[in-house]
Structure formats: structure tokens, C-alpha cells
Amino acid sequence: MRTTSDTIGPMWRHPFLAILLAAGAAPADGDPLLALLGQDDEAARRGAIRELLQAGGGDGCARLSGYSRARDSGARENAVRTMGDFGCSSIDDYRPYFSDGSAWVADALLDAVSRNRVEEGVPYALARLDDRRRLVSDGGSWTLAQAALRALRTLTGQPIPTAAQARAEGASVPAEAVWRAWYAAHRDEPPAAWIISGVTSMREALAGHSPARRLAALETAALIGEPGQIVLVEALRRKPSDLTAALSCTPDEPPRVTDEVPCVLTVKNSTLHRVALASGDVDVEVALWVPPATEPRTSGRERDPVMVRTKPKGNPGPSAKAPAAGAPISDPGVLAGRIVDLGPGESLRRQLRIGPVEAAGRYEVKVELADLWESLDPGPYLAPPLESALVLRFEQ
């Protein structure tokens, strides 16, 4: 289900059209491509549309551009997203959709021009910087203004802080005005010059101490792909002692096997300078605890049921869920929303719930926060994994 803040429900779709097409029945309007664009099953739709466009020959981008007049906003949105998938790179293909009032179509446009580096789409993105309509889907929630900012950073390489970041540092000029002033001054320059100047600005920001400028530089470096990758790799490389991880669990009472115990993984900057991290998912392992063979047995009263220990330093192990540490990624832009820039003594906290377990006993809980640096550069890396462990006793 997907909604926007100015709608009352999900977009209307045509789930029965796939059955009609599979049976060879023509849609009422006689346009099988329009029927496919109206479907909600993305995986099935993409393959079928590609086959239909290839069979028809001609310019697929121009053909998709013609659906800007379709009555169904979902079909218009899917036409734009398909153009993005197909690599349509002419602004003329997208221009018929620029006046579309659907928030989802606008989001699709911002995504497509960004992915295909259609620099002529910058004015469209600038016009959406004030659009506060919120889009909600199973994948999360964001505003069109946020999508426009992402598009602008991708297309121009300029690490201009967000409005919230700028306000936090006392900036008096709105971020929207900064973007429009920049474009007015540089619109006649070649896009390659934008990226070059942007990379220079990123390096200057990362050498400074402004949290807003540093985070903007890191996020922009992730979005522009190869030109920013070296900057990002250098900024995210950390030393073994830079960050420390600790796991703590604070049940209100001794947990039972059916309970879920609240825990927190805390990653702390232990240095006197800022440290950037592209944080992935937390991998959790829970297994019955086996005491070390060299540990003396206790007599009388049982030992404290909670024991905290940190795993020894070593090379980062594999992490669960995508994007996974150590696995190269095709689009570094996925890291943009996962970057944190911790000041001295600052911490990143991830809340977890451990349990239920199968039977009473002591369980060792091991957690690891994936460091996505390796996704960019799987070369030698001296920093230890961000992991910690403790033992919890569950009662019947």
C-alpha cells in the first residue's frame, strides 16, 4: 500500500489485466502496453513491458513518453519508472510529465532523471524543493522535497546542506535559496564542471569541523558514483581504536523463555575528532552458551547470570541483509541514507529485542553492526568489526 499525505488511500490499480493479457484478451482501449503499465506487480510488469516494446520496435522512450495523457496516475508513474529503467536520457522524453500533479509521478521523474544523469532536469528538481507532500510505501516515508534534494546532489555534485542541517548551525539563508542561487550562477557551465567543483567542496567540508557540511559532503559523495567514491572511501576508513561497540540488555526482571528482552548496541566515537561510518544492518546470533573449558566450575551459589564480554579484534566477518559488508554494490547511492558522522564521544545506538528462546538456560548473544566501507573498497582494512556479545539467562 502506498499513499501521499494529500490523498485518502492507495492508488487504484488493475490486478485483473494480467489475466486478460495472459488469455490473449485485448483491453477495452485496445492498448496492451497501457494495460501493463496499470498493473501493480512490478516484477512481472517490467519483463512484459520490455518484451512488448522490443517487439514493437521503434523508440521505446518516445513511446513511453506518450502515456503522459493516460487517465490512470499509476500508469503514468509506471511509464516514467520504466523510462528510468530503460536508460532514457533525453529531457524531451520526460518533459510531457513535468506538469503532472501526481506526487508519485513527480517522485518517479526525480528518480529517473537522477539515475540517467539528465542534467537538464535540474530546474524541475529545484521547483520541487518546496514540495512537502509526503509519500508513504512499504519501503519507508519521504517527502518530494527530500527526493528533489537527492536528485540535485546527484546531478550537480554540490554538497549543499539540507534546510534542517543549515538551521542547526544557525544559517540565515534557506537551503532552497542557496540551491537556486548556485544554479543561477553556474547554469551555463558544463555538468562535468559541476562535479569537479563539487568534489573540491566535499574535500574542503570533510577537512573542516562543521557537522552539517561534513554530512552533506558524505551523502553527496555517495550519490554521484565513481567521482565521489575515492572521497567516500577515504572518509569512511577508520582506525582500530576509533569506534568501540558495547551491547547491553536491561530486562525489568529475569526473562522467561517466552520474553523478548530489550537490548541496545552502542557504537561510540572514542577519538578526539569526528568519525564517519556507513552503518548497515545488525546481525544477531543467539545460541546456548558453552562455558570455556579452562573456566573453573563454581560451587555453592550460581554465578551471576549475565556476563559481558567483547569478541577479540579481527577481520570483519560477513554481515546479514543488503547491502552487505564486503559485497560490492552497483549503486553507492544506497549508502547516502546510512551514513552517520559522530563527533568526539558521540554514539550511534541500535535498539534490539532478543528472544523468545526454545528452553531455559544461558544463551550467548552476539551482535555485529555491518560496516559498509567494504562495499566500496574490499581491499585491506585494519579496523575490527563493530561487534559485542553477552550472556543472558532465560528462566522457564
CATH of the domain at 389: 2.60.40.2360
**Strand boundaries in the chain, DSSP class E:** 3-4, 134-137, 140-143, 243-249, 261-269, 275-288, 307-309, 339-342, 347-354, 361-371, 386-394
Based on the fold, state whether residues 264 and 371 are members of the same structural domain. Answer: yes
pLDDT for res 166: 75
Q: Are residues 168 and 75 in the same domain?
A: yes
Average pLDDT of the residues in 152-159: 97
Q: Kindly state whether residues 75 and 207 are assigned to the same domain.
A: yes
Q: Are residues 193 and 247 in the same domain?
A: no
| Structural domains in the chain (count) | 2
Percent of the chain with pLDDT over 70: 82
Inform me whether the pLDDT recorded for 98 exceeds 90. yes
Residue 17 clears pLDDT 50, i.e. is over it: no
Same domain for 335 and 276? Answer: yes
d(CA 340, CA 383): 17
| pLDDT classification of 377: cutoffs 50, 70, 90 | low
Residue 375: pLDDT over 90: no
- CA-to-CA distance for 291 and 270, rounded, in angstroms? 31
Instruction: Please state, in angstroms and as integers, the Cα–Cα distance from residue 291 to each residue in 295, 296, 309, 364, 389, following that order.
Output: 7, 9, 13, 10, 14
Lowest mean pLDDT among 98-107, 118-127, 165-174, 257-266: 165-174
Helix (H/G/I), strand (E/B), else coil: 136? strand
Q: What is the pLDDT of residue 313?
A: 31
pLDDT digit string, tens, across residues 224-282: 988 998 999 899 999 889 999 999 998 989 999 999 999 999 999 999 999 999 999 99
Whole-number Å distance between alpha carbons of 212 and 28: 54
- Residue 147 region, left (φ>0) first, then alpha (ψ -120 to 50), else beta? alpha
Kindly report the CA angle at 127 between 126 and 128, in degrees rounded to 5?
Answer: 90
pLDDT at 19: 38
**Which of 200, 235, 270 lies at the terminal end of a domain, its last residue?**
235
SS3 157: coil
Q: How far, in Å, CA of 302 to CA of 232, rounded?
A: 50
Cβ neighbours around 395 below 10 Å, total: 12
116, 79 contact by CB (below 8 A): no
- Beta-ladder partners of 29: none
* Residue 318 DSSP one-character state: -
CA distance linking residue 83 with residue 65, whole number of Å: 8
* Residue 77 φ/ψ, nearest 5 degrees: -60, -45
pTM: 0.80
Please, are residues 83 and 61 in contact by the beta-carbon 8 Å criterion?
A: yes
For residue 289, the one-letter residue type is W
Mean of all residue pLDDT scores within the chain: 83
Rg of the chain, C-alpha, whole Å: 26
pLDDT at 374: 74
pLDDT at residue 124 above 90?
A: yes
Sequence-distant (≥ 6) Cβ neighbours of residue 145 within 8 angstroms: 128, 129, 130, 131, 132
Q: How far apart are CA 156 and CA 96, in angstroms?
A: 23
Domain boundary among 207, 235, 263: 235
Note whether 31 and 174 are same-domain residues. yes
The last residue of a domain, from among 178, 200, 235: 235
- What is the rounded CA–CA span in Å between residue 82 and residue 70? 15
Distance CA 272, CA 332 (A): 28
Q: Are residues 107 and 203 in the same domain?
A: yes
pLDDT value at residue 14: 37
Domain identity same for 165 and 250: no
Q: 164: domain CATH number?
A: 1.25.10
Q: How far apart are CA 160 and CA 216, in angstroms?
A: 6
Cis ω on the peptide bond leading into residue 254 (within 30° of 0)?
A: no
pLDDT, greater one: 296 or 341: 341
pLDDT at residue 306 tops 80: no
What is the span of the domain harbouring residue 114? 3-235
> Which of 127, 131, 124 has the alpha carbon at shortest distance from 109?
124
C-alpha grid cell, residue 168: 542547526
Q: Is residue 247 located within the same domain as residue 228?
A: no
Which DSSP symbol is given to 218? H
Same domain, 170 and 250: no
Secondary element (H or E) of residue 169: none
Instruction: Answer for the pair 396, 257: CB distance below 8 angstroms, yes or no.
Output: yes
Same domain, 100 and 210: yes
Cell numbers standing for residue 199:
568534489
Do 297 and 175 share a structural domain? no
